[in-house]
A and B are shown apart, each in its own frame.
Chain A
Amino acid sequence: MSSYNVIKHEVSKEPLIHITKNSAMPFWKSFLIRAAAVAIAFLLCSILSYLMIGANPLEFLKTFWDGNFGINAAASKIVIWKLAKDTAVLLCIALAITPAFRMKFWNIGAEGQVLIGALAAVAVVYYSGDKFPDWLLFLFMLLAAVAAGIVWAVIPAIFKAIWNSNETLFTLMMNYAATYFVAFCLVKWTPDGSSTLGELKRGHLPSIGHPYLLLILTVLLITGLLFVYLYYSKQGYEISVVGESQRTAKYIGINVKKVIIRTMTLSGALCGLTGFMIVAALDHSVTTTTVGGRGFTAIIVSWMAKFNPLVMIGVAFLIVFLNQGANRLATNFRVGKAFPDLVVGVIIFFVIGCEFFIRYKVHIRRKAPAAASVSGNVAEGISESGEGSGGGGGDGSGVVEASGEARSDEAVNETVNDTEKEGNAK
């Protein structure tokens, strides 16, 4: 079969959709797209919950509102504080992993780092008994938690920095090592074999005005500090450069290994701090589900906020708001505890999906250009002659479609060059 066996097609194979990169989009526009995505997803959720559990949209909204802001004054006091507390914890974990993520170090081990921090804080209380005064006990708890978090985060970082081990998979494994280590300690600490530690007698952070207030203020303080660190300090700048391009970083004299290890130390320390606060301010105990998947949700929060600590406040609030609303819906309509995960999942899918329309421009075909179809057919002829003998059934068609797509992206004469290249490659 000759390479120039051109068959004339009347129908152009110009693909219907053609994508190009969007250059900078004004903030209001990208914000509108994201808001629209959340709104559509929310609408979809209300339709879904109508179909699945028979809650009409009005009830849906009302339950969501009640779940977060309460029906009457007494109830609202409780749920708003819970909303703020959950937001603060999720925000704090998201903040902790952000420095690493800005460096494109995919630390998905926050779950384990927070848990091991919490465990260390509990261990200090468990083993110290009444030896220390309160302030010293808090100090030791904090130090132990931070140190444990650092250890859990720095091990993958060292291997990443020196031998370029895959950090995503490494940190993922560390999560489970932490979980079972906690299970191990719990059995050791509970002589009756129940594995439930119960509330610790000591190590409760003092309540200022409200039991949650200290936690919330601390997280807000961390948010501010981290924002300044990431955007206005030399180290923050180095993180951004390493994230953008390790080669560039090396070229301008940044010690990439040092930055990776230092940033992960910070990340792990913040995770440990979160663990300390969960123990000292909220739970006063530890179980294998103390973090309860929030380490993973925080990754999504951090990413949705484009790694900006200030935006993260809003995103964390949104996720907790949805969760709490859906929770109330699940309780009121007795559909099981898993319903909130469904709602949050759908919303996250939409937010993830809408990023595409911010980063890329979609062009939909209007008229079929006539000249392009001929050169495309040349490509088709060649690829078929190359593949026909050796390839399986599926291959041929795959190649044809590929050359069809190639045509749309380049100008006609470029496509001819491409076609020649393909011919040579075969």
Chain B
Amino acid sequence: MIVFEFLLNALAIGITFLYGSMGETITEKAGHLNLGIPGIMSVGSACGCAVLNVLCRDGCPVHPVLIVILALLATLAGGALMGLLYSFLAVSLRSNQNVTGLAMTIFGVGLAKFIFAKLEVDGVFYTRSTKYFRFPFANTTSSLQYIGILVFLGIALAIVSSVVLSRTRVGLHLRAVGESPATADAAGINVTKYKYIATIIGSAIAALGGLFYIVDFQGSQEAYLTVEAMGWLSVALVIFSTWRPYVSIFGSFVFGVLYILGSYLPSFGLKVDMATSNLIKTLPYVVTIIVLIITSIRNRPENQPPASLGVSYFREDR
């Protein structure tokens, strides 16, 4: 039974990475390496939790469905606003993407911690809301107690975004913008618009990962301190899944397994000390590095990052 619990937990924590990497993939497909994802996830989750805190203060007078929807909307809005800020700087003002992204992370994590510190002063109520993110018919013995609505929403979104990216005209245009904005521009695609929309949608989706991690997976008051690390793992997952959202469904599960393996090994009857479990935690990163190396050695065009990733586009450049 412990194996079953382990796999379900791995699936659940993996969903955090899935949201983050999906958002980052969509952004990177437009040619923007958004290193602000950890900040965006933090801010989005802070917005969602702020709303939940208000809604759950007095024993939740509002309908549970409404609570979930309002929290999701607040999270999406927070993520989208951060995405807008990034787009304005990196697309319109053509600033360096690495620098802008890192500034977004510094600012975003700071803002989120600021908000959460405020919530702690007012009293923490958002941790009460975990049950609303689970299915009403999931009782304590069923496997659904580990995986709630957001898990299924995440997998569905990953499938949808995969189809949109690879099977529709919008996806084709978006990939064209990321591969060669000049060519896309010449073909009449509005490069700026695509970059803006992809970044904003991507940031909003990534933000859901932060909310899921804090409210659903952890459901604790200290969870917000570790969202940043989740964000960096999400960026790693993008590479691991070679820029394909449907691969990242599988990849997120692998990352989830690797991430919680250390804490489960003792219950499998294996003697593991604290030190080794820390070493096991490097596995997602090491595996990502190996994938990065293999894809660059094999050099197959379909496994490469978008060609213009990290390069600002200015039409009059030649």
Q: Does B3 contact A (CB under 8 A)?
A: no
CB within 8 Å of A: which of B234-266? 235-236, 239
Given contacts A339-B114, A344-B106, contact A177 B282 (CB under 8 A): yes
* Residue-wise interface mask of B (223-243) relative to A, using a CB-CB cutoff of 8 A (1 in contact, 0 not): 000000100110110010000
Q: Does A399 contact B (CB under 8 A)?
A: yes
Secondary structure dominating the interface of B: helix
* Residue-wise interface mask of A (172-204) relative to B, using a CB-CB cutoff of 8 A (1 in contact, 0 not): 111111001101110110000101000000000
Alpha-carbon separation in the docked complex, A120 to B298 (Å): 34
Check B110–A303 contact: CB distance below 8 A. Answer: no
Check A340–B98 contact: CB distance below 8 A. Answer: no
**Chain B residues within 8 Å of A390, by CB:** 169
Tell me the nearest residue of chain B to A108, going by C-beta.
B98
Check A345–B185 contact: CB distance below 8 A. Answer: no
Q: Does B281 contact A (CB under 8 A)?
A: yes
Alpha-carbon separation in the docked complex, A35 to B190 (Å): 34
Q: Does B123 contact A (CB under 8 A)?
A: no
Residue of B35, B170, B188, B293 touching A422 (CB-CB under 8 A): B188
A-binding segment of B87-95, B148-156, B212-220: B87-95
Alpha-carbon separation in the docked complex, A174 to B94 (Å): 28
Check A176–B232 contact: CB distance below 8 A. Answer: yes
**Chain B residues within 8 Å of A183, by CB:** 278, 281
Q: Does A346 contact B (CB under 8 A)?
A: yes
Given contacts A165-B296, A184-B275, A300-B103, contact A355 B113 (CB under 8 A): no
Given contacts A176-B232, A297-B106, contact A106 B98 (CB under 8 A): yes
Secondary structure dominating the interface of A: helix
Alpha-carbon separation in the docked complex, A405 to B292 (Å): 38
Q: Does B58 contact A (CB under 8 A)?
A: no
Check B188–A336 contact: CB distance below 8 A. Answer: no
Residue of B33, B190, B285, B315 touching A176 (CB-CB under 8 A): B285
Check B316–A409 contact: CB distance below 8 A. Answer: yes
Q: Does B57 contact A (CB under 8 A)?
A: no
Q: Does B99 contact A (CB under 8 A)?
A: yes
Residue of A170, A299, A355, A395 touching B292 (CB-CB under 8 A): A170
Check B186–A159 contact: CB distance below 8 A. Answer: no
* Count class of interface residues, chain A: 35 or more
* Residue-wise interface mask of A (311-340) relative to B, using a CB-CB cutoff of 8 A (1 in contact, 0 not): 000000000000000000000000111111
Q: Does A168 contact B (CB under 8 A)?
A: yes
Q: Shortest distance in angstroms between B264's beta carbon and chain A's nearest beta carbon?
A: 17
Tell me the nearest residue of chain A to B276, going by C-beta.
A184
Check B316–A21 contact: CB distance below 8 A. Answer: yes
**Chain A residues within 8 Å of B19, by CB:** none
Q: Does B144 contact A (CB under 8 A)?
A: no
Instruction: Give the total of B residues in contact with A, Cβ under 8 Å.
Output: 70
Residue of A165, A168, A398, A409 touching B293 (CB-CB under 8 A): A165
Alpha-carbon separation in the docked complex, A335 to B119 (Å): 11
Q: Does B75 contact A (CB under 8 A)?
A: no
User: Which of B96, B100, B278 neighbours the largest number of chain A CB atoms within 10 Å of its CB?
Assistant: B278
Tell me the nearest residue of chain A to B115, going by C-beta.
A338
Check B296–A166 contact: CB distance below 8 A. Answer: yes
Given contacts A303-B96, A341-B106, contact A173 B315 (CB under 8 A): no
Residue of B106, B113, B193, B316 touching A348 (CB-CB under 8 A): B106
Check A303–B275 contact: CB distance below 8 A. Answer: no
Check B285–A168 contact: CB distance below 8 A. Answer: no
Q: Does A356 contact B (CB under 8 A)?
A: yes
Check A20–B186 contact: CB distance below 8 A. Answer: no
Alpha-carbon separation in the docked complex, A403 to B316 (Å): 15
Alpha-carbon separation in the docked complex, A337 to B114 (Å): 8
Check A402–B190 contact: CB distance below 8 A. Answer: yes
Tell me the nearest residue of chain B to A359, going by C-beta.
B94
Q: Shortest distance in angstroms between B284's beta carbon and chain A's nearest beta carbon?
A: 8
Check B107–A176 contact: CB distance below 8 A. Answer: no
Check A296–B95 contact: CB distance below 8 A. Answer: no
A-B pairs with beta carbons under 8 Å apart, 5 shown: A184-B275, A296-B102, A341-B113, A342-B107, A398-B173
Interface residues of B (CB under 8 A from A): 33, 35, 85, 89, 92-96, 98-100, 102-114, 117-118, 168-170, 173, 185-191, 193-194, 229, 232-233, 235-236, 239, 273-276, 278-279, 281-282, 285-286, 288-289, 292-293, 296-297, 299, 305, 309-310, 314-317
Given A177-B282, A181-B282, A383-B188, 10 more pairs with CB closer than 8 A: A168-B98, A173-B285, A195-B274, A296-B106, A340-B110, A342-B111, A344-B107, A349-B107, A355-B95, A399-B190
